[in-house]
Amino acid sequence: MAKVYVTPPVVDEVRKTTEYKALLELGLIDTSSKLIVNNSNFRFSGDILGLNNVYDWSSRNYSEHENTITIYGNGYVRTDRGRPAPVPSLKTGDLVTLKDWRDKLEGVRLFVLRNCILKDHLGVASRVAQVELTKDGNAEFVMAMLKRVGPEFFGFLGNRLPDLIQYISPDALAKEILANPGAATEFLKGFSKLDTVRKAINLLPDSIRAGFEEELGVKSDLKNIGF
């Protein structure tokens, strides 16, 4: 009996799942062509995966290209980070139902968080720490990393993963500003107009807020940000 993989209508359902949207929040772009999805596959790219030198035979030169992750309908996941290779931590097995795809997308999300974001970009090499920091969803990951790294992590999000800023509460950011105002000034300066930052500033004690606003070159506006 021939194997039955996901069909194009199911592909549309996959793109509506929370797991698919969570992947896009991590800076991935769905670069699946019509041919790819018609063959029951998905391909994602994004600079968060890193860059790879690819040899162009026409120009006889190497050029940098964003790495990709491809999910195949048989459950095989391939990445070209460094060199084309399967992701050994993700088991194979035909992706027939929507649940199969949701589980696979969640596995890819964890791979990207642990290997690309935590290890490659943030220097968290401990597997134990990687698993602990990614045991829940993107929102919990963001708050755990803000507590671990402080304002520097906000700067990283602003430059690399802006879709995740929505998960940072002004209360938590205000606490980090108070704990390390020097770092906060450095890493928040380019994002002072964001609602999260402005609300956090207005939670600071009066004795600190004015000086911090001056350092950032901003002035709080309580009426415009919901206070």
pLDDT at 18: 96
pLDDT at 50: 77
62-63-65 Cα angle (round to 5): 135
b vs e for 178-212, b when ≥16 Cβ sit within 10 Å of the residue's Cβ?
eeebebbbebbeebbebebbbbbbbebeeeebeeb
Quick check: 86 and 76 in contact, CB under 8 A? yes
b vs e for 23-51, b when ≥16 Cβ sit within 10 Å of the residue's Cβ?
bebbbbeeebeeebbeebbbbbbbebbbe
Amino acid at 198: R
pLDDT at 67: 85
Distance CA 208, CA 136 (A): 34
Distance CA 164, CA 142 (A): 7
pLDDT per residue rounded down to tens, the chain (227 residues): 555 555 555 788 999 999 999 999 999 999 999 889 888 899 999 988 875 555 455 666 655 567 899 999 899 999 876 566 788 888 888 888 899 999 999 999 999 999 999 999 999 999 999 999 999 999 999 999 999 999 899 999 999 999 999 999 999 999 999 998 888 888 888 888 889 998 999 999 988 888 888 888 765 444 343 43
Quick check: 12 and 81 in contact, CB under 8 A? no
Quick check: 101 and 95 in contact, CB under 8 A? yes
The separation between CA 109 and the C-alpha centre of its own chain, rounded to angstroms, equals: 8
pLDDT at 59: 63
Quick check: 143 and 164 in contact, CB under 8 A? no
The secondary structure of 153-186 as a DSSP string is HHHHHHHH-GGGGGG--HHHHHHHHHH-HHHHHH
